Structure formats: C-alpha cells, structure tokens
C-alpha cells in the first residue's frame, strides 16, 4: 500500500493522493480487480476496478459517487460491467507499455468473467489548453476522436480499443487540466452479446468462520501470572473448539490492580497498568501462536508513546503479528476518572479470515466508524465492552445490531461480569455477550447467531458464513451498502486522521481522489 501511495504521488503530483485506508478498501472490496506492475522490484503501475451494473456505469455520474469516495465499496459481484477508476503509471517508466499491459489485464478479467465490457471516466488533460478554441468539452472530445486535436490520454485509450459515449461533467473537480470533465469511455467484450448478456448470481458458497466471545468474570488475582492463566483457560477452550477468533471484554486487564497493597489514584493506576503493557502484548502473541487462534484482547488502559492515556485493544493474530486499535470516543466517565483521550485512527486489520475491525464499546454507538471499517472491507467487527447497568449494555447492544443491519456485517460483543470492589470503574458489571447478524433470509431469525446467559462467566461460540454477507449485499431483500446515495452524502475524514498516516512524499489528504481515472 505505501508503494501504491508513492506511485500515485509521483504520477499525479497536482492531484490529492490516496490514504492508506482508501487503498486498503480497494484491495479488500474486489481483490481480482486490482493490478500492479513491477519492474526491477519497484512498483511502476497500478490500476483499480470493480464490478457494477450497466444501469449505473452507463449513465452520468461522478468519481466520488460511483466509487464510494475511492474505496471501491460499491463493488457489486453481480454487476455486468467492469468499472475502472484508477490507472497510474510511473512517469519515469512510460516507455515499457505498462499502461497497455494493465489495460490488457483488465480486458482479460472482463472476458474471463463474461462481463459486457469495461467502463471508466478518462481524463482530458489537453482540454484546459484549448478550451477557448472549442465549444465545450463535447466538442473537444469530438475533435480529438476525429484527429483534429491531440490529447495524450484520450489518444492512448482510443488506441486500446475504447470508444467515448459522452462527457462526464464535474466528474473529478480536482482535475484542473480537464476542468473537472472526463471522457465516458467504453470497451465492449467481443465474446458477449450485450443484448443478451448473462445474468450473474452470487453463488451460495460456504466461507465459514468460527467465532468465540468470552464473557469474562472480573475477579481478584494474586499476581500477573494468575491473570494470564485465567485468560489462557478460555483461549485454550476456544482453540479446542477450533475457533478462528476469540474476543475478550473491554478493560479486561483491570484485575491486575486487585493485588495492589494500597488503593491507587487514577494516575497511579494508569502507570501501574502501563508497566504491564509489554508483558500483555507478549503473552497474547504467545497464546495466539501456540493455540492457533486470533485473539482480540479486549482493551487495556495504558499510557502510549505520545504520553496520552489511551484505551487500547491489542490484537494478536495466529500468523505472529500484533496490532493495536485505540478507542476513538472515551465516555464522559473515562475522561473524568482516567483522563483517557480518544485515538485518531481506525482501520481494518488483515487476518487469515479477511479484514476485521474493532470498535471498543462506546465506539459502536457512532455509525461513521463501522461504515469506515466496512468501506475498507471488514465483514466482522468485534466490540469489547464494559457496562455497569442494563441500560448501558442495551445502548451497546442495540447500536451494534443497527451496525450489523446497515453495514451487512457480523458484530461480535464481549463484556465483563462480576466486580472488583477495590478497583475504580469495576464496582458492578452487566453483560450478555452475543454474536449479531444482519436481518435477512440467510441469517438467524432474530439477527442473533448466539448469545450468552446474562451475567454468567462463559464462552459463546458460533459459526458464521461470510459468503452470506456477499449474497446479502448483492441480492438481499435490502442492500444498504449498494443503495447509499453517494450523490447526496458521504463521510469525509479530516486530513491526516483516521487512515494510518500518509506517506512522506505526499501531502496530508482527506481521501478524496481520482488521480488517473480509467
């Protein structure tokens, strides 16, 4: 992904670049449709595409609308056209026919999938120079096709078998050379009769993942080793059931304060917990490898490298990697008692079962966060929570059910039960951990794959079929993701935040981009 970002910055220095989150979404939403070209071990070409229906691709649109702000999140596995929304070649390597090779790879994909053809909005960089000599972008395009004017991009596309069917106005406002216009280009698959193109259906495959949620009892422990043994017990049981994931509750490490010899102030408690952070990460990583399971380590209050106090979920994967996801929205209670500050980045985590997301408790009550994770390709979102009352629990539960429906994804909740009398914030706990699904025919009747008994320490396990999500998003009774009105609204993240950082060679961006078109 950083190589793609650097390539975009080199090829289109006058346009805003991609964020890491946008590139991650492109790759996750339709892996088959993304191609890279390398030369001497260096990335020199990249193109992005998705499937979409002709009813959308062949009518007027703009880049943000049709691509879901660049994430490729409007990919439709039943779409009969391949839509190209990025084509980028290193300017120092343009004598190697890299663009032609990438176009050929796209055509081969369209032919293999029996699609009607390829559509995209192509840049018109020569238009700004001659705009006073022509009667608008349509006249400019007509003269280029007739050979009366020269445009390097349109000429290249014509030479590769594409034909214009019109002009897309205000397609990409950032493209000053094209004055925001794009040539609406089409390549028709010669092996498919467009008048009787095949009707695509999503195969009802089985892509099974076994999920385990641990409803953990907060209990006093004698030392760090006893705490680890308590956690490892449930990891062991979940692994015996061949679970792919196990998730622990928010603040599941607070029992480490129970064996302090005196009552600590909030600042002292944070410092004590921070001292355990390296050991917690190490133990979670060890268990993930030894038990061959992906572990979402609830959350752990700690002082991070920047000096802020954060509530962090440490995720240990069975491939040996570890990841951290900060809580974005601390509750008023957390801010007051613990001085916890919100994080500023949220992204999917790549696992052997596909990309996942983590929303810590209160974060599940902000729909923008789940939508961002799903745009990046997440199909499972884990929600470690810690609530002291039924009302608090139901806020997390109802909001998570809404996230499952509106994003057509699985939500996995894990909460604490019991109490720690001498530890602030752990006086009483209420939880009913559960695994929630969308509400449609392939899923559980009430949108609940499994749930625990209230306030009892237990492990709840369920199999879910990720392929059901693919079907629901393309052919379900309602199709919340595909039916979004990108022509009316979208989520805009502040520059430099929420995407894992930008590469040094490009300026901070908000994710709005369409560098190459096509």
Sign of CA dihedral 142, 144, 145, 147: positive
Rg, Å, the chain Cα set? 25
**Domains annotated on the chain, with CATH:** 1-188 (3.40.630.30), 208-475 (3.60.110.10)
221 close to 259: Cβ distance less than 8 angstroms:
yes
Half-sphere exposure of 505 (CA within 13 A, CB side): 13
417 close to 215: Cβ distance less than 8 angstroms:
yes
- What is the Cα 439 distance to its own chain's centre? 21
**Residues identified as active-site:** 250, 327, 361
Q: How far apart are CA 72 and CA 84, in angstroms?
A: 10
Element (H, E) at 163: strand 163-168
The answer to whether the predicted template modeling score (pTM) of the entire model surpasses 0.85 is yes
- Total residue count of the chain as it appears in this document: 518
Q: How far apart are CA 80 and CA 193, in angstroms?
A: 12
| Residue in this structure with the two tokens 């060890």, named with its chain if needed | 286
Residue-level pLDDT, tens digit, the chain, 518 residues: 999 999 999 999 988 889 999 999 999 999 999 999 999 999 999 999 999 999 999 999 999 999 999 999 999 999 999 999 999 999 998 788 999 999 999 999 999 999 999 999 999 999 999 999 999 999 999 999 999 999 999 999 999 999 999 999 999 999 999 999 999 999 999 999 877 778 888 887 889 999 999 999 999 999 999 999 999 999 999 999 999 999 999 999 999 999 988 888 888 999 999 999 999 999 999 999 999 999 999 999 999 988 899 999 999 999 999 999 999 999 998 998 889 999 999 999 999 999 999 999 999 999 999 999 999 999 999 999 999 999 999 999 999 999 999 999 999 999 999 988 877 767 789 999 999 999 999 999 999 999 999 999 999 999 999 999 999 999 999 999 989 998 898 888 876 544 333 333 333 333 344 445 66
| Residue in this structure with the two tokens 């949620």, named with its chain if needed | 213
């Amino acid at each position: 992904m950083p190589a793609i970002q650097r390539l975009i910055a080199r090829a289109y220095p006058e346009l805003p670049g991609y964020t890491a989150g946008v590139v991650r979404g492109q790759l996750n939403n339709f892996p088959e449709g993304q191609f890279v070209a390398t030369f001497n071990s260096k990335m020199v070409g990249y193109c992005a595409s998705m499937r979409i229906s002709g009813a959308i691709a062949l009518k007027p649109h703009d880049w943000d609308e049709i691509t879901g702000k660049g994430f490729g999140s409007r990919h439709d596995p039943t779409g009969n056209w391949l839509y190209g929304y990025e084509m980028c070649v290193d300017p120092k390597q343009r004598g190697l026919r890299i663009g032609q090779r990438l176009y050929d790879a796209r055509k081969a994909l369209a032919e293999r999938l029996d699609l009607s053809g390829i559509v995209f909005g192509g840049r018109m960089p020569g238009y700004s120079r001659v705009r006073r000599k022509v009667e608008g972008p349509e006249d400019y395009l007509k003269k280029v096709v007739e050979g009366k004017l020269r445009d390097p991009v349109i000429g290249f596309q014509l030479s590769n078998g594409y034909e214009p069917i019109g002009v897309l106005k205000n397609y990409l406002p950032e493209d000053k050379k094209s004055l925001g216009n794009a040539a609406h280009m089409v390549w028709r698959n010669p092996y498919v009769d467009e008048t009787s193109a095949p009707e695509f259906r999503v195969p009802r495959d089985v892509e099974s993942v076994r999920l385990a949620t641990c409803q953990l009892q907060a209990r006093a422990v004698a030392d760090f080793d006893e705490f680890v043994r308590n956690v490892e017990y449930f990891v062991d049981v979940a692994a015996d059931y061949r679970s792919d994931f196990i998730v622990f509750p928010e603040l599941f490490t607070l029992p480490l304060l129970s064996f302090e010899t005196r009552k600590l102030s909030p600042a002292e408690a944070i410092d004590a917990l921070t001292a355990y952070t390296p050991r917690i990460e190490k133990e979670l990583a060890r268990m993930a490898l030894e038990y061959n399971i992906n572990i979402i380590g609830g959350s752990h209050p700690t002082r991070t490298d920047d000096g802020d106090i954060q509530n962090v979920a440490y995720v240990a994967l069975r491939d040996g990697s570890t990841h951290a996801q900060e809580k974005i929205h601390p509750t008023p209670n957390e801010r007051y008692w613990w001085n916890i500050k919100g994080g500023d980045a949220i992204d999917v985590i790549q696992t052997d079962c596909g990309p996942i997301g983590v929303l810590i408790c209160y974060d599940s009550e902000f729909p923008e966060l789940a939508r961002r994770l799903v745009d990046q390709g997440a199909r499972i979102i884990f929600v470690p929570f810690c609530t002291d009352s039924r009302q608090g629990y139901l806020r997390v539960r109802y909001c998570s059910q809404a996230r499952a429906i509106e994003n057509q994804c699985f939500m996995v909740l894990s909460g604490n039960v019991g109490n720690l009398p001498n530890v602030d914030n752990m006086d009483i706990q209420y939880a009913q951990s559960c695994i929630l699904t969308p509400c449609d025919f392939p899923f559980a009747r009430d949108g609940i794959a499994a749930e625990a008994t209230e306030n009892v320490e237990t492990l709840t396990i369920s199999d879910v079929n990720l392929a059901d999500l693919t079907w629901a998003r393309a052919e379900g009774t309602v199709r919340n993701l595909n039916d979004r009105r990108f022509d009316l609204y979208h989520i805009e993240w502040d520059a430099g935040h929420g995407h894992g950082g930008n590469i040094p060679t490009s300026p901070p961006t908000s994710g709005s981009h369409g560098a190459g078109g096509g």
